[in-house]
A = this chain, B = another copy of it.
Amino acid sequence: MDIETFVERSIGEWRSQRSAHHLAFGHFEEVRSTINIESLTVDTPGVLDLCQRYEVSPEHIVSPFKMTWEGESDWDEDEVMAGSTILIPVPDSATTGKLLREQGYAETMEAMGSYCLTDDGTFILTTAYDRAAAEEKIWFATPNLRFRVSLIKTSSGKGVTTASFSSEVRRGVKS
């Protein structure tokens, strides 16, 4: 599977159940959310801005997309967590590349991660931040069901502080 196919299969509205495990304390957190993924054209202003900030030529990007989410955590039911961000794959081979991510209007920060696609169709993204690193694995069980495992690691990459698992079911379709 190449990144274009992976993004194309992800387009749509998804109902997500996410469980976070805070490993040191054995805490659980449950989040329900709706995630919307839509494709963008290369000439969308936000896409060109992000390319410019990372000095990437728009000719080298493929399948830019926008992700919007709105969710509720069981830790604070009054707080609605919502956000939106633009993501841009920059392939450097059929199965590897960089992923640029816009700051968006929520808590995300601008970042560039490295991705690869494994033989069994799993998308793996690793992103290094100042004080932490993130690893995300996303794969499809069926065309209408995606899973996502996200790890927050210490900056050395050796320890894992939080592991979370999301089941994402395409809206309007039974899993």
Contact = CB atoms under 8 A, between A and B. Distances in A.
Given A145-B160, A158-B142, A165-B149, A32 B24 contact: no
Contact of A28 (B15, B30, B145, B174): B30
- What's the interface size class on A, roughly? 20 to 34
A167 interface: yes
A108 interface: no
Contact of A147 (B118, B119, B149): B149
A26 B19 contact: no
A17 B28 contact: yes
Interface in A134-173: 141-142, 145, 147, 149, 151, 158-161, 163, 165, 167, 169
Contacts of A149: 147, 149, 165
A119 B118 CA distance: 9
A56 interface: no
Interface of A: 15, 17, 19, 21, 23-24, 26, 28, 30, 32, 118-120, 141-142, 145, 147, 149, 151, 158-161, 163, 165, 167, 169, 174-175
Ranked nearest first, the 9 interchain pairs of A and B with the lowest CB-CB distance are A19-B19, A165-B165, A23-B175, A21-B167, A17-B21, A163-B167, A28-B30, A141-B160, A160-B175
